[in-house]
Each structure stands twice: as structure tokens, then as C-alpha cells.
Amino acid sequence: MVEKYLVKDVSLADQGFKKVVLAEAAMPVLGLLKKRYERERPFEGLKVSACLHITKATAVLVRVLRDGGAEVALCASNPLSTQDDVAAFLAKEGFSVYGFRGMTTKDYYKAIGLALSHKPDLTVDDGADLVVSLHKVAMAIEDEYTGMLPPDLRHGIDKVMGGTEETTSGVNRLKAMERQNLLRYPVIAVNDASSKSLFDNPLGTGQSALDGIMRAMNVLFAGKNVVVCGFGRVGSGIAERARGMGARVMVVEPQPIKALQAHMAGFTVASMEKAAEVGDIFITATGNIDVIRGEHFRRMKDGAILANAGHMDVEINKEDLRREAVSVERIKENVDLYRLRDGRRIFLLAEGRLVNLVCAEGHPSEVMDLSFALQAEALRYLVENRGRLENKVYEVPHEIDSGVAMMKLEALGVALEKLTDKQQSYIRSWQAGT
């Protein structure tokens, strides 16, 4: 018998419900899909195990999937990102929900095991921990945490018809599995859809990462030297928003084209070694490991603030920071003060985990409306194409991607230009030239 839920405190449900009401009002595309799914029941009789940040926007998504006939089990995709009141509300609504803020890594994998114990037909992941765990069990790879998962999940993988992935780091891991021929079912890279990565990553994370830093430190961005590590989809959004608040923004980037793009956009581009000396606030958004490490902490100014917006807590090397420090003190929720040997103080936010979800509320729901509408439609596509897809990482089909953008435009009351017949045939022709 699988536990029905694992949440901090079910008595928080009413407060969680109010947050979900707020989110629903900002998510008109999911509202439209809800009506459609209630009629068509595309997920009738199917089980979905989802590993997502348990936020008010996620609650809207799982309710829409339920209204389309799915039985949803939800677990947290980060030990610190769960909104406990929302988790309580979902538990009270009858969802199998496993997650609370402040989980240990053991709790975290236990929750993944519980969500997988529902024997899903479809998986939804954010960071690929659920998919990787299921694959490790199927391959009988027992590491410290997946060894805790019930071995009877081993054959569960054969039942899964497909999955979706929400974030860049997860897509990277799944592509690595595909390259090694290890992927056992098709996965759609929702992250890479235009309606996701042009909005969620730069605008959603861009704004909410700064929101998290401001809530944690009450810091003034104007006049500060802000170092943004990574000028990809997320980092470019953070850099633009920090500049908009009056910060002097420096970008650290190893790829020539991205570095040139940052330079031409008017940012100072520098090596991490140089940036370490001038930064007041550092924000990592790379999906990579050890971006800020010992040699950089040794160069930093007194009072430097460190925050990470990347998916994993490996971008700022916490062990190196601990080694440099004589003491570490939690001086405020989500803020740890590291005192270094020479007296300098360094503030690490959110234990190096996603600053926007730990110190603030994550992306505004209206941007998650796009990402989660894509999730729902990608799941529907997997159901409709059951048995026809290979064990690969697929892009979101263009019709779904532009269909979601169209629904959002309609909800926002934004008009599109309509091409004339002459214009349509002109852009498809080659005969007419200069």
C-alpha cells in the first residue's frame, strides 16, 4: 500500500487553496485546456508521476491533468522549493503528493520512490531525477539513494509510454542517456520549445531570481556590480533585468558566440577570475559544476552575495566555501554568513539551490501558464502517438508550440497580422527577385 501523501502540515490547505486561486487567474491557457480536457478526457485511466517544484502553478497543472482523466502522483523536484501550503491543499484534494520544504536528500529520493510506486504510464520531470531514478532501478544500479527505491519498480519502466522534461539540466541528462542508448522510453524536451525557453527561462527566472535575492537580502541593485555566470537563456534574462535595476552587470561565459552577444548587448564580459574581484552580487545560471570555487572566494570583496539560479546546487562549490571559512552562521531564513579567515564576510543564499524558488515563489504563474500548457499538450501528444515513437529525446512539435503561443495571445487580447494570399505565396516562391 503506497502512502497517500507526505506533506508538512495538512492544516495549511486553506491557505494553499487561496494561492491556487491566484495562480488560476493568471493561467488562462491552462484554463482553456481544462475545458477541452474535461470534454475529451485524453488521459482517461492513465497514471502520471510528476516530479516538479510543488508550487501554486504546479497545482493548477496537476488539477488540469486530473480533469483530463489522469491519476496524478506528484513529488518535489527540489528539497527546498516546496510550498507547504500548496502541498497540503493538493493532499486534501486527494492527490498523492510527496514533498515538504527542507527535505533531506534521503527524503527527496523516498518521495521520488513513492511517486514511482504508482506505476506511471507517463512521467513529468524537472531536472530528470525521477526518470534517472527509474532507469537506475531498471538497470539495477544501486547508488546511495536509488538503492532505497523499491526493487519492484524494475519492471515498471516497461509500462511507461513516454515522459516530458521541464528544464535545461534535465534535457542535457536525458540527451546523454540517449547518446549511450540507455533511454528506455521517449521523452519530449518541453524546455526547448520556443514558447517555453523564450519566456520562462529569461523572463520568469530573470525576474524571480532577482526577487529571491531582494527578499533574502533586501539589497539595492542600483549601483551594484552584479556578476552573471552564463549568458544562456536564463543568464541573459537575469543580466538584462539586473541592468534594468541600475546595476553594472558583468557576464562570465565560455562560449564565443554567447560572449560576443553579451559584449554587443553592452555588458562587460570577463573571466571568472577577474569578475570575482569586483562583484558585489554573483548569480550563477549555467547548468555546470564548480562555476564559483575556492580560487574565486579567495578574491572576493567583503560582503559579497552568492546566489544560484541553475537547477542543481553544484554551481557554487559549497565545500570549497566551507573550507575557506572559519565559521558559518544562519543569520536569516535562506541566508548563511560565511566568515573567512581574514575577516571577510560572504553571504550564500538558499544553500546554493535555486534562489528564485527557495527565497521567492518561483516564476510568476502567468509565465508558467505557457510552460505547463506545453507540458499538458506534450503529454497528450505522447498518448496519441503511443507505440509510434522511439526511445529518444523529441522536440515539442511545432503545432503544439505555436498553438500554445496562439492561445496565450488570444487570452491576452493581442492581435496577429494576417498575411494576404499574395504575401503567403510570395514568401514561399523563388522566381521573383530584385
Ligand X SMILES: NC(=O)c1ccc[n+]([C@@H]2O[C@H](COP(=O)([O-])OP(=O)(O)OC[C@H]3O[C@@H](n4cnc5c(N)ncnc54)[C@H](O)[C@@H]3O)[C@@H](O)[C@H]2O)c1
Q: Which residues bind ligand X (CB under 6 A)?
A: 167-169, 201, 205, 229-235, 252-255, 258, 285-288, 291, 309-311, 354, 356-357
Residue whose C-alpha is closest to residue 296's, from 269, 316, 322, 267: 316
Q: How far apart are the first and last CA of the chain?
A: 73
Residue 50 phi, psi (nearest 5): -120, 135
**Distance of closest approach, residue 282 Cβ to ligand X, in angstroms:** 11
**Distance of closest approach, residue 273 Cβ to ligand X, in angstroms:** 11
Taking the least distance from each CB to ligand X, the nearer of 292 and 376 is 292
**Distance of closest approach, residue 11 Cβ to ligand X, in angstroms:** 28
Taking the least distance from each CB to ligand X, the nearer of 260 and 419 is 260
Distance CA 284, CA 308 (A): 5
**Distance of closest approach, residue 422 Cβ to ligand X, in angstroms:** 39
Taking the least distance from each CB to ligand X, the nearer of 57 and 285 is 285
**Distance of closest approach, residue 248 Cβ to ligand X, in angstroms:** 18
**Distance of closest approach, residue 401 Cβ to ligand X, in angstroms:** 16
Taking the least distance from each CB to ligand X, the nearer of 34 and 233 is 233
Taking the least distance from each CB to ligand X, the nearer of 157 and 316 is 316
The residue with its CB nearest to ligand X is 232
Taking the least distance from each CB to ligand X, the nearer of 78 and 117 is 78
* CB 208 within 8 Å of CB 362: yes
Residue 3 corresponds to which amino acid?
A: E
Taking the least distance from each CB to ligand X, the nearer of 57 and 252 is 252
Distance CA 5, CA 107 (A): 13
Distance CA 128, CA 165 (A): 7
Distance CA 83, CA 9 (A): 11
Q: Which letter does DSSP use for residue 333 in this model?
A: T
Cell of 154: 524494475
CA distances from 416 to 38, 354, 407, 409, 412 (A): 29, 36, 12, 8, 12
Helices first, then strands: H and E counts in the chain: 18, 16
**Distance of closest approach, residue 68 Cβ to ligand X, in angstroms:** 25
The pairing of strands 335-340 and 345-349 is antiparallel
Taking the least distance from each CB to ligand X, the nearer of 291 and 400 is 291
**Distance of closest approach, residue 285 Cβ to ligand X, in angstroms:** 5
**Distance of closest approach, residue 369 Cβ to ligand X, in angstroms:** 15
Q: For the chain, how many residues are written?
A: 434
Taking the least distance from each CB to ligand X, the nearer of 139 and 289 is 289
Number of other residues whose CB lies within 10 A of the CB of residue 35: 11
Distance CA 284, CA 366 (A): 24
Cell 519502466 maps to which residue? 157
